[in-house]
Structure 1
């Protein structure tokens, strides 16, 4: 494709045109614009990228400012690509564009974004008049409120973070639908149907289930001590904000093998990979360079603090912070477990889950590994070709190029959608099923006690054996555990279990 309208029916516009013009290597934007010389408009989905073709009347013009304005209008606000464009483009060309329309909303946004992303102040006088405009359009993006008014460009800064770390999340139809479903209220309705004592018992099981699932995702088999430590952390998740360096280190020290505890962020380059042949390594993910970590992590903490009071949906905040954390990969070990713990911590602190209630999101991730992997690979896969690295004979990695930009300005929309799906699945299956199972158990236990006064341990065994055999006690289990009960008692006890669990 070419920018020359006489040579091809399609011309890249917006980010596509600028990427081609400056020969940029980028993580592809979610939306790609093309302008045709025909009067048609269509939208296609290609490799998870929305490709939209516009009629010729949409052609913005060849100048830098015109293409940037088109990009903001139709392709969205991609901070990483904008940062690269600003590094390569002629600053005077941008200044000319801004000076010709100093009060235009797109000119002001680009002016602000240039100074925000480059740290350089343009030789322009502060605006003295005009209404303030939102930097990100709230109907297209999740934004913080209250905003940070910037007098210089008369812009409402409603970003999640600052120049150190600033993820974005778009308001996609899927996310709008999840918000409309009000999963927090659905969780409350599920919980409201059960007695407090039953909830307390269920929670004890769910803590353990979540802990084991979080370790199992990483194919780790912790000893009982580490399981107990993680359970203890989950039990206080709603009491303390763990999104700070010191608590992160505390959690990391509790969930990893004692030999791999850390006292600071990692000082070596880490990556996730697998050996595919003798001497061969397949790299799945490369973390940011150690020298970039401190600033990125400080930025993540700052974004979390802003989101805490920013009126953003708790699930969006949890996705931005927890996935941001795992992509920054600040430790040699324990990053995944910490990432999943932060999801609970943020949802509990923001009041998304009823007080004292925790649902096992990791269990849903474990049962749907392809979906969880996809949520991670939505960032890691397009990142891989942009990282220039070498591995020595001992598997130590050195990253040769500057990569901080990609971790600093992530589009975490796919991760937010995935987290909403996992939460919905958890509420509708794991939480509901566990509570229902316990309610059925209590009914079966009461029915058994009305027939024979068995010790609790034997009641539990009887129910378990029956459930393993379609509601009936096998002859082998009867002879080994319940040989003292009569045939009539066994029949009545089996019926009590089947009735409680709705078995035929």
Structure 2
């Protein structure tokens, strides 16, 4: 019995996996394959179907295409449709190839040995399954790109003569999230944010730029802890800030990640350092019985080595040709979904953003964009981005509670952390980076310029230690440019009324009403 007989493709439907379609339509591409082969995979963010009307509808997570787009109701037909219109979903494809086995793919290629889609499918099967099909090397056909660069961001191309394709996947079979081309990302890239940042700092004196960089670094470190709901002592914030300042100087590998965990945690008496040897989850516990209530379940400990090594290969490999912010989003969010440590994952996840941006020369030398501060200001959107994938992943994970009120994953989930759609993550990160360049960097530089003017004018007629001048400024800043009665009676009792009024006037001139 052939594969087509075994797997019946759906007719027109109105409900797919408990979700309603915008109108009655026939699943096509990945939706049809997921349904026919009963694939337990996170659903793509947008599913396709073909309807009865001659217009395309995009609504509620569906793209309803016209009758002329309808594929042949076969494995080859739906695979071709998926590659042509939906791009690559490597998690779906790997589970599909596991379900089909090699024979249908071999037959598909033999029937169309020069077809570009057949040869791409052939390459993807061997790449994902890490096994060779019983097929001779291709001898004809124009070289086809594995990733359609009009649909998804691709890496530099390498020819794969066996299939006569150009391998432009940005990762390896151990780690290769992908990002779709969207209008938002195209617009972000067209802004040329690295050049904007360089233009902002070009006219800033070296000493002022150094102070700006130091402030932004500390701001990012403090914000990264705040995102986790922590308020550590100042020395710990500064220590992590120094680590962020060195981002991009050392290559990422397992040892480097372990070093970063030790720095970020500081006091590790109550935390097991190193990669997890047990399950992990993000969420709460039931109040009465302490049973886990996970919002996100981390990768299995037995998958962590290959996942981390895949991340390392991604960072050092052909992803170097990807846009820096897109590469940073893939690396950083891939790490946080894995959650390889018992603690410290979130801060290292954000460190990886700095690592990629600095290593690629995206930010001016010595300047760290306070991305964590931008994230903190948009914390609800940040959580929505994280949950965008976690919520689709969670129902597919089979788990049981452990005696320690942890989780133990019972099924093979490794591929769900290797392959995911990182488009929302890249768009969110680009918005944060834009915010830091167009607002935080110039605002902080301007603030320090005005502060220096204020201090110089005060020093011109009052001989005051620098620390006391700074305290004076903070009192004015907190009180709308006026010295409170308490400050006049205590810390600044030595000021005359005329001096106090003059200082307030200087503040108004340099900072306005505060």
Range into which the TM-score falls when normalised by the shorter chain: over 0.9
Which residue does the alignment assign to 1:350? 360
Corresponding residue SS for 2:408: strand
Corresponding residue SS for 1:481: coil
**Residue 45 (structure 1) aligned to one of 59, 62, 65:** 59
Task: Give per-residue Cα distances to partners, 1:195-245, cap 9 Å, x unaligned.
Answer: 21111112222222211111121122323443232122123224222x111
State how far apart, in whole Å, the 1-side matches of 2:99 and 2:245 are.
50
Q: How far apart are residue 484 of structure 1 and its match?
A: 2.3
**Residue 432 (structure 1) aligned to one of 442, 466, 485:** 442
Q: How far apart are residue 11 of structure 1 and its match?
A: 0.8
State how far apart, in whole Å, the 1-side matches of 2:329 and 2:64 are.
31
Give the count of matched residue pairs: 497
State how far apart, in whole Å, the 1-side matches of 2:285 and 2:444 are.
39
Corresponding residue SS for 1:12: strand
Contact 1:284 1:384 in 2 (8 A): yes
Q: How does 1:210-249 map to 2 (within 5 A)?
A: 210-241=220-251, 243-249=252-258
Range moving further from structure 2, 466-475 or 11-20: 466-475
Q: How far apart are residue 314 of structure 1 and its match?
A: 0.9
**Residue 80 (structure 2) aligned to one of 56, 69, 80:** 69
Which residue does the alignment assign to 2:11? 4
State how far apart, in whole Å, the 1-side matches of 2:295 and 2:71 are.
39
Which residue does the alignment assign to 2:418? 408
- In the superposition, the TM-score normalised over structure 1's length comes to 0.94
In structure 1, the gaps of 5 or more residues are none
State how far apart, in whole Å, the 2-side matches of 1:217 and 1:160 are.
30
Contact 1:187 1:427 in 2 (8 A): yes
- In the superposition, the TM-score normalised over structure 2's length comes to 0.92
Contact 2:282 2:296 in 1 (8 A): yes
Which residue does the alignment assign to 2:17? none
Contact 1:269 1:290 in 2 (8 A): yes
State how far apart, in whole Å, the 2-side matches of 1:71 and 1:267 are.
38
Contact 1:307 1:317 in 2 (8 A): no
- The answer to whether structure 1 residue 13 and structure 2 residue 23 are counterparts is no
State how far apart, in whole Å, the 1-side matches of 2:202 and 2:495 are.
38
Q: How far apart are residue 396 of structure 1 and its match?
A: 2.5
Q: How far apart are residue 474 of structure 1 and its match?
A: 1.8
Tell me the C-alpha RMSD between the 2 structures: 2.1
Corresponding residue SS for 1:160: coil
Range moving further from structure 2, 319-328 or 456-465: 456-465
Range moving further from structure 2, 429-438 or 73-82: 429-438
Contact 2:146 2:167 in 1 (8 A): yes
State how far apart, in whole Å, the 1-side matches of 2:78 and 2:342 are.
42
Contact 2:292 2:401 in 1 (8 A): no
- The answer to whether structure 1 residue 497 and structure 2 residue 504 are counterparts is no
Q: How far apart are residue 95 of structure 1 and its match?
A: 2.7
Contact 1:252 1:261 in 2 (8 A): no
State how far apart, in whole Å, the 1-side matches of 2:433 and 2:200 are.
13
Q: How far apart are residue 378 of structure 1 and its match?
A: 1.7
Q: How far apart are residue 481 of structure 1 and its match?
A: 2.1
Change (3 A) 1:411 1:260: farther
Corresponding residue SS for 2:317: helix
